[in-house]
Each structure stands twice: as C-alpha cells, then as structure tokens.
Amino acid sequence: MGKTQLLGVVVVVFVLLLGGATPVRSASPSLSDLIRTTPDGSTLTLSGEYVVHETIEIFDRRNLTIQGDGTAVVRQSNNGDDGAKVFVVTGGTNVTFQNFEIAGANPDAGSYSRRTALGAAIAIKGTQGVRIEGMHIHDTWGDFVDLDTWGRHFPTTEQVSIVGNTLERSGRQGVSISRMVVDVRIEGNLVREVARSVFDIEHARVVSGIDIADNVVHGYRHYFLFIGRGGDVSDVAVSGNTATGPGPGETGGKGFVHVLLRDPLNLIQGVLVCDNVVENYLDQNDFSGATDVVTTCATAERRSRYA
C-alpha cells in the first residue's frame, strides 16, 4: 500500500473515531424562537406539533398573527412545572391567535386545584387589540384565557375578541377578567367542563364593556358568570347563551349569573341578562350586589359597536 493510500485510511479511521460518520444536525428552532424572530406586522403560520417546555413570552409586539394551517398543535409538556402558562402576552397592540390547538398538560382538568390554578393557555397582560379565534384549547392547569394588566407601563387590556373557539376542561375558570379590562367580546364559543365559573370578573379596578353572547356551555361547577370581590364593574351583557347538562361536580352548577359586592365603596352597575337558555342547572340569578340590572334587551343594538 502506498503512502497516499495509507494516509487516506488513517484519515477515515480518525474521522470515525470522532463520530464524524454521523451527520450533525442543528436543532430545530423552538416555537419561542420562531415567534421572537417573526417581525412585527407579520403572520407566523404553524404546521405540525410543537412541544412547549416553558412559558412562551410575547412582549410588546405590534400587529403579530400566530395562526395554524389546520394541523398545528402546541402541546404543553408535563415536566414537573405544574400550573405553568403556555402563552403570556404582555403589552403591545393587535396580537392574534388563530386556528390551532393548545393542549394543556393537566391530567385532572375539569377539577379545581389551588396549587395549579394560576396556569392558563393564554394570559393577556395590558395588551390593546387581541383576537383569539378558531382555537381549540383544552386540559389547562387553570383558565383557558386570563385577561389582566401588567404594572404602570401596560395598565389596561382593551378591545379583546374571543370568538368561535372550542374550550374544554379547565382547571379553574373559563375566561378570567381582573383589574383594568375594557371592551371584550366573548361570542360563539363552545365550552365544556369548567372547574369553577365559566366567565369570572373579580378583583377589578375598572372593568367595563363586556359582551358575552351566543356561547354554548356544557358543564360548570360554580356559575356561568360570577362578578364580585371588589372594584368598579359596568356595562356587562349576557345574551343569547345556552347552558345545558350537569356540571362536572355531583350537583352541577350553582346558578347562572351571580353578583357579589363585598365592599360598599365599589360599584357594579349596568348588568344586562336576557334571551339565555338554561337547562338542567339551578336556573337562578342573584343580582343583589348590582344596580341598574336589565333583563330584557335588544341584542342587535348591544352588538352594534362590533359590526
């Protein structure tokens, strides 16, 4: 064997010893990286399955759409961080989630646990202009959607539409609204097996302009809508909804709309409840904590601002 051939053999053996015979592929970018590198004013289209090991933070973005192609699933891993959120959107304007699945990691979803209840699929903190549409969200540690604020830099969440989604098996509420949140439309959603109340307004500073219309709900343990525990709440409409079937607890839901006012310095006013169908529940409303309650309405006039 000549020197040139011998040298070639030595090189090949050396490469094999180093593991060079196996191609080294760079890791695919995480969903968090994909979102971070998508410019403002753009649409990120998801395809296939993405496993999320920690909360995805979306901070102060402008005109960002995250949409699925019909196959997209964002699956939360159960890595011991019980109660984690999947997405947290802080600040920014015009952020859209559209047409994909968020699969939570809660094996006991539909039942409430204080330890894990602060988790959520999508948490919005001080964002103006949010659309959550055509989503399938299920098996969350806490709420499907949590609307809140974030400090003095992002003090108000405004102009939120939660429309045409399928929401199944929460670990706390369905949609939570707290502190300063205005102009929210929750319409045309299918909701199943909520561990506590389907829609919950608590710890408010100023909450107003909440429209809950034409949703179909099957299974909740507390109330369809609960309002209470502080703050000023006004201009809330509940119309055209259907609540059927027993709740996931032994006795089903406690009632339909319940208003609880603990602090006389706070004010709950302008509550509109009409044209709803309530079956197999305690068909009762408690408005004792509210003023200016209306039980007959023209829903077309109510929704005119969203036309």
pLDDT of residue 300: 44
In the CATH scheme, what architecture does the domain 41-306 have? Answer: 3 Solenoid (2.160)
Taking the C-alpha atoms of residue 55 and residue 121, their distance in angstroms, rounded to an integer, is 10
Identify the residue with better confidence: 10 or 51: 51
pLDDT digits (tens, 9 = 90+) for 236-245: 999 999 998 6
Taking the C-alpha atoms of residue 253 and residue 154, their distance in angstroms, rounded to an integer, is 35
Q: Measure the CA angle with vertex 265, ends 264 and 268; round to 5°.
A: 75
pLDDT digits (tens, 9 = 90+) for 11-66: 333 333 334 333 332 345 799 999 999 999 999 999 999 999 999 999 999 999 99
pLDDT of residue 151: 84
Tokens at residue 58, please?
């979306």
Distances (CA, A) of 116 to 123, 124, 172: 15, 18, 9
Tell me: pLDDT of 67 over 70: yes
pLDDT of residue 261: 75
- Region 96-121: mean pLDDT is 92
Tokens at residue 194, please?
């909520």
Tell me: pLDDT of 282 over 50: yes
Q: Measure the CA angle with vertex 271, ends 230 and 120; round to 5°.
A: 55
Tokens at residue 20, please?
């060079």
Tell me: pLDDT of 306 over 50: no
Q: What is the pTM of this model?
A: 0.87
- Contact predicate 177/200, CB 8 Å: yes
Average pLDDT, the chain: 85
Taking the C-alpha atoms of residue 165 and residue 98, their distance in angstroms, rounded to an integer, is 9
